[in-house]
């Protein structure tokens, strides 16, 4: 194999490798897109000092091959932890309907609990100011269950 044949073979292999990176829509051809890109790079390349050429970036490279622009802001760990602690200052975690949720500290009270097995001697309990049970005398869960069973037995 001559040097020209080796060079041509290397070029074709490189062309196929780069073409395989394209994400193409139905009806497009990855090889054609790569050839078009290379032609455009040659025709539209930018001359810089030292007579070197900088090719233009293609528009639809796979995500892992795209260059980072540097516009994305990554917050430092210190800023993130400071913001979180500032947000948590006036909030507490309470247990509502089987889930732990954050509620304003002003709407919660400390309630003592049995800590004979260890643990904290108190827990936070949320006093829902907008709860309908505060203003109205609604039935309890046991009363609702009894009413449902009674209705079930009647039918």
Instruction: Convert the pLDDT of each residue in 27-37 to its tens digit.
Output: 667 777 777 77
DSSP reduced 3-state for 94: strand
The band of 50, judged by pLDDT with boundaries at 50, 70 and 90, is: very low
Rounded Cα distance between 113 and 117, Å, is 11
Residue 30's alpha-carbon distances to 58, 64, 96, in angstroms, are 12, 17, 55
Rounded Cα distance between 18 and 39, Å, is 14
Question: Which are the contacts of 54, defined by CB distance < 8 A and separation ≥ 6?
Answer: 45, 46, 48
The chain-wide mean pLDDT, for the chain, equals 76
Instruction: Convert the pLDDT of each residue in 85-144 to its tens digit.
Output: 888 888 989 988 888 888 988 888 888 888 778 888 888 888 876 665 544 566 778 888
pLDDT of residue 137: 61
Rounded Cα distance between 148 and 155, Å, is 11
Name the percent of the chain lying above pLDDT 90.
6
Q: Is the pLDDT of residue 46 over 90?
A: no
């Amino acid at each position: 194999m001559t040097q020209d044949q080796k060079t041509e073979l290397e070029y074709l292999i490189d062309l196929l490798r780069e073409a395989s990176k394209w994400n193409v829509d139905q009806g497009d051809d990855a090889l054609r897109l790569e050839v078009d890109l290379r032609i455009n790079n040659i025709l539209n390349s930018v001359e810089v000092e030292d007579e070197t050429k900088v090719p233009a970036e293609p528009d639809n490279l796979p995500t892992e091959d795209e260059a980072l622009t540097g516009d994305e802001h990554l917050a430092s760990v210190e800023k993130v932890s400071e913001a979180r602690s500032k947000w948590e200052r006036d909030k507490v975690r309470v247990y509502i309907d089987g889930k732990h949720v954050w509620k304003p500290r002003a709407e919660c009270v400390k309630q003592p609990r049995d800590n004979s097995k260890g643990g904290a001697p108190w827990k936070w309990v949320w006093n829902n100011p907008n709860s309908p049970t505060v203003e109205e005398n609604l039935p309890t869960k046991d009363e609702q269950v009894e009413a449902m069973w009674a209705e079930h037995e009647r039918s």
